[in-house]
Structure 1
Amino acid sequence: MEMQEKIDWIALLLTAILIVLVRESSVWIMEKFNHPELGNLAGLFFFLILLITWRKVSALPRRLIDANAKIMKESAFAFLPVSAGSVIMLATLGTELPAIVFILFFCTLIPLWLYAKMAKRWL
C-alpha cells in the first residue's frame, strides 16, 4: 500500500505569497532607482539575506522548508519552454553563434568552478 503525501496548502500559499511579495517589492524599489530590470536580482539577494538572518536568529520553520521543496520539485517543468526558446534563438543567430556559445560557456564555467572551490572548502 502506497502512502499518499499530504500537501500543506496553507504553507504552500504563504510561501508563494512571501516570494511574490519580496519580488514585487524589489521590482518597485528598483523602479525608484530607474532600474526595474534589477528587481528580480535584488529580490533574490534580499530574500537570501533575510533567510540567512532568520536562520542565525532561530531555525527556519519546517513547513517553510517543505513548501519550498514542493514548489521547486513541481516547478521544474516550467523551464522546458525556456530551454526550447533558447535553442530556437541559438539556431537563428547565424554567424554570431560561436561568440554567443563561447560567452555562455565561459560565463557558466567560471561560476561553477568557483562554486566547486567554495563547496570543497566549506563543506
Structure 2
Amino acid sequence: MDLFRQIDWFAWLGTIALIIFFREGSVWIMGHFGHPELGNLVGLISLLIVLLIWRKFKKVPPRLVDTNNKIMKESGFAFLPICAGSLMMLVHMGSEIPLFVAVLVVSTLIPLWVYAKMAKHWL
C-alpha cells in the first residue's frame, strides 16, 4: 500500500495525457493531409519542439522529467513482440539481410544515440 502513496499519480496521468494528446492530434492532422502513418513522427517532433520552447522560457517541471525517465525505462518490454517479429522476418529475407540491418542501424541506433546525448546535455 505504501508503494501507491509514493507514486505521483498526477504527474503520471499528466505525462501520459500529454503524449496521447500530441500523438492523436498529429495522427488526426496528418490524416487530413492523407498520410496518417506520419502521425507518430509528427507528434514526437511537435512535442519535442513544444518542450524546447517551454524550456527556453521556463524550467521543465522535475515531476515531468522523473515520470518520463520511468516510462522510458519500463517501456523496453513493449519492444519484445517487435523483436520477435523482426527475427521471424529475418529468417525469410535471405540476401536482403544486410540492407535490413543497415536500415535498422540508421533508423534506430542513431536516433537513440542522439536522444541520449541530448538528455545528457539538457537534463
TM-score of the pair, normalised by structure 1: 0.78
Could you tell me which residue of structure 1 aligns to residue 55 of structure 2?
55
**2:28 partner letter:** W
- Pairs aligned (count): 113
Query: Where in structure 2 are there 5+ consecutive unaligned residues?
Result: none
Q: Which runs of 4 or more aligned residues in structure 1 lie more than 6 Å from their structure 2 counterparts after TM superposition?
A: none
Confirm or deny that 1:14 pairs with 2:23.
no
Deviation for aligned residue 1:6: 2.0
CA RMSD of aligned residues (A): 2.6
Structure 1: distance between partners of 2:8 and 2:87? 37
Structure 1: distance between partners of 2:78 and 2:40? 17
TM-score of the pair, normalised by structure 2: 0.78
Identity of aligned residues (%): 51
Could you tell me which residue of structure 2 aligns to residue 85 of structure 1?
85
Could you tell me which residue of structure 1 aligns to residue 75 of structure 2?
75
Structure 2: distance between partners of 1:59 and 1:32? 34
Larger Rg: 1
Secondary structure of residue in 2 paired with 1:59 = coil
Query: Where in structure 1 are there 5+ consecutive unaligned residues?
Result: none
